[in-house]
Chains A and B, each alone.
Chain A
Amino acid sequence: MTDSLYREAILDHFRNPRNRGTLEPADFTYEDVNPLCGDEIRVDVRTDGENVTDVRFSGRGCAISQAAASILMEMVDGRPLDEVKAISREDLLEELGVPISPARMKCAMLGLKVLKAGIYGVPPSDDSL
């Protein structure tokens, strides 16, 4: 099925998540849940003040939430903080490369929401992602 949500690239990130784990200590740590699916994600970030020097995620939930968080880790590891702050919903959707229905958008965006909350210190509203 060519338009499947569960393409090999997504499943690969789900089965073999990149940057999975925690950082102790970390410069930013944040965690949140998606009440729809019960997804939980925590993101730990280390930074030298300009760049993300290390990043890890942990948590559990549906394949979309966990794969999207893993993909996000690859997007931000080593990147300048300013660029990380500028990552949009569309940027992440493009990397995911599968059609995300409105019902699953919160799953796909949970990692990004948590990451930004960690960087800014407050969670962004769903609309501003």
Chain B
Amino acid sequence: MVTTRTGNTVDWVRVRDDFPILASLGSREQRLAFLDSAASSQKPERVIAAVDRYYRETNANIHRGVYDLSERATAQYEAARHMVADFINAASPREIVFVRNTTEAINLVAQTWGRRHISAGDLILVTTMDHHSNLVPWQLLAEEKDARLEAVRITDEGVLDLEHLDELLAQGPRLVAFPHVSNSLGTINPAAEIIRKAHDAGAIVVVDGAQSVPHMPVDVQALDADFLAFSGHKMLGPMGSGVLYGKLSLLEGMPPFMGGGGMIRKVSLTRSTWADVPARFEAGTPSVGDAIGLGVAVEYLQGIGMDTVREHERELTAQALDRLREVPGIRLLGPEDLDDRAGVLSFTLGDIHPHDVAAILNEENVAVRAGHHCCQPLMDRLGVVATTRASFYVYNVDEDVDRLVSGLHRAQAIFAS
């Protein structure tokens, strides 16, 4: 039982027991230490049961069905939208578009808002620490429109160079895209400040929230974000559930993303008019069961409290940083200050290749990720080919930190001789 700084008392071992996969894999002596939640999270029993129950009791296509089952499915799908809106404090559930993942959400903005508003010579800003999913869609758009793309630099510590941001903002970009939290370094960027400055410069702002929304309180109205993209599967929800938040005024002015059923008002053979927001952006049958599962995941996280989630991960990160510094040859990347860092630990271990480090940890039933983390420009900037990355979530406990540290000592021993 742990009382966090926010005053909540949570038994984190009991939280872990809510996740069936963590109980079923590995032996009693050596449970699975799952440290790859930045890639995708595990799912609590409650979410798994909700998806199962949906297919057993509620499954039918939504909207326009006049029979009870379809109405129930529709009601649950829309209730999930309300829950997600509430979770990020959106002004209206109509500002929530269900998509498959963060990547789809960002591509949606690039292909709709972007194609309508970006023209030749316009400037689009990204950052050196963006995930490929918040780089490549803008590269495609810039190429199509003959627009300019510039990246805000980072410092050696892995934080955004805000002076460089100011310089680039002075050039009057149309759009600024940045990650709220870096998936590779864990850096928490000063989102509210960046958004305010970008707005002052006349830009629209797209926030990649894939690594922030699951791990800390995020309030889109307080941030004044124009768009926020995040993935349900990284926040205890089913794979295939993702969200685009957009300000209603912006969404209403946007053309459709994909054409098809569900997104139209009236169709004739040669032209159509579009449905209201958000249906306009949800062509075809959505992943209804997954959206409903996401709603349950949101309830679960709210039950713990996002301040408490953040506090727990901060605790684990502090412990891990202290103990990892004792591993010979380790180079820890990202900011030192725990206020500026989420529960993501990226490092290199001497000359040992990250894939070898991860493979040795795997032999100890510790799951971490190794590679470029979909951030090749960032790896180039840091002068590394790849890193090993451990990331925390609600189901991680002190023992997982112990296992990570002892696994790294073993890797050192294997390669030392």
- List A residues at the B interface (Cβ < 8 Å): 1, 3-6, 11, 15, 36-38, 61-64, 104, 107
**A65 CB, nearest partner CB in chain B, Å:** 8
Report yes or no: A62 in contact with B363, Cβ–Cβ below 8 A: no
Contacts A37-B386, A62-B353, A62-B356 aside, 4 further interface pairs with beta carbons under 8 A come to: A1-B363, A37-B353, A38-B372, A38-B386
- For the complex formed, measure the closest distance between the CB of A7 and the CB atoms of chain B, giving whole angstroms: 10
Query: Is B415 in contact with chain A by the CB < 8 A criterion?
Result: yes
**Residue of A whose beta carbon sits closest to that of B385:** A38
B382 interfacial by beta-carbon distance below 8 Å: no
Most central of B359, B371, B386 by chain A CB within 10 Å:
B359
Contact A37 B363 (CB under 8 A): no
**B314 on interface, CB distance cutoff 8 Å:** no
- Assess the A107–B355 pair: CB atoms within 8 A: yes
Partner of B353, one of A1, A3, A61: A61
Interface of A is mostly: loop
A6 with B360: CB separation less than 8 A = yes
Q: Is B414 an interface residue (CB 8 A)?
A: yes
Contact present for A6 and B386 (CB under 8 Å)? no
Q: Could you write out 30 A-B pairs with CB less than 8 Å apart? A: A1-B363, A4-B360, A4-B363, A5-B360, A5-B363, A6-B356, A6-B359, A6-B360, A6-B363, A6-B414, A11-B415, A11-B417, A15-B417, A36-B371, A37-B353, A37-B371, A37-B386, A38-B372, A38-B385, A38-B386, A61-B353, A62-B353, A62-B355, A62-B356, A63-B352, A63-B353, A63-B415, A64-B356, A64-B359, A107-B355
Number of interface residues, chain B, beta carbon within 8 A? 14
Which residue on chain B has the smallest CB distance to residue A15? B417
Q: Mark B368-410, 1 if CB is under 8 A from A, else 0.
A: 0001100000000000011000000000000000000000000
A71 to B352, alpha carbons, bound, how many Å? 19
A104 partner, pick from B359, B363, B415, beta carbons under 8 A: B359
The CA of A104 and the CA of B371, in the complex, are separated in Å by: 12
State A122–B181 Cα separation when bound (angstroms).
43
| Closest A-B pairs by Cβ, 8 of them | A62-B353, A38-B385, A62-B355, A37-B355, A63-B356, A62-B356, A6-B414, A5-B359
A36 to B352, CA, bound (A): 16
Q: How far is the CB of A124 from chain B (nearest CB, A)?
A: 23
0/1 interface trace, chain B 337-365, chain A, CB 8 Å (1 if under): 00000000000000011011001100100
Minimum distance in angstroms from A116 CB to a CB of chain B: 23
- Cα(A3)–Cα(B364), bound, Å: 11
Task: Say whether B355 contacts A104, CB under 8 Å.
Answer: yes
A5→B386 CA distance, assembly (Å): 20
Instruction: Mark out the residues of chain B between 34 and 73 whose CB falls within 8 Å of any chain A CB in the assembled complex.
Output: none
Determine whether the beta carbon of A11 is less than 8 Å from that of B355.
Answer: no
Residue of A nearest to B351 (CB): A60
Question: Which chain A positions have C-beta within 8 A of B352?
Answer: 63
| C-alpha gap A3/B359 in the complex (Å) | 12
CA distance A64 to B370 in the complex (A): 15
Q: How far is the CB of B79 from chain A (nearest CB, A)?
A: 39
Q: What residue of chain B has the Cβ atom nearest to residue A4's Cβ?
A: B363
- Shortest Cβ distance from A5 into B: residue: B359
Closest to A38 in B: B385
Question: Shortest Cβ distance from B340 into chain A, in angstroms?
Answer: 28
Q: CB-nearest residue of chain B relative to A1?
A: B363
Q: How far is the CA of A120 from the CA of B371 in the complex (A)?
A: 31
For the complex, give the distance between the alpha carbons of A63 and B417 in Å: 14
Give A11 to B414 CA distance when docked, in angstroms: 8
Find chain B residues with CB under 8 A from A63 CB. Answer: 352-353, 356, 415
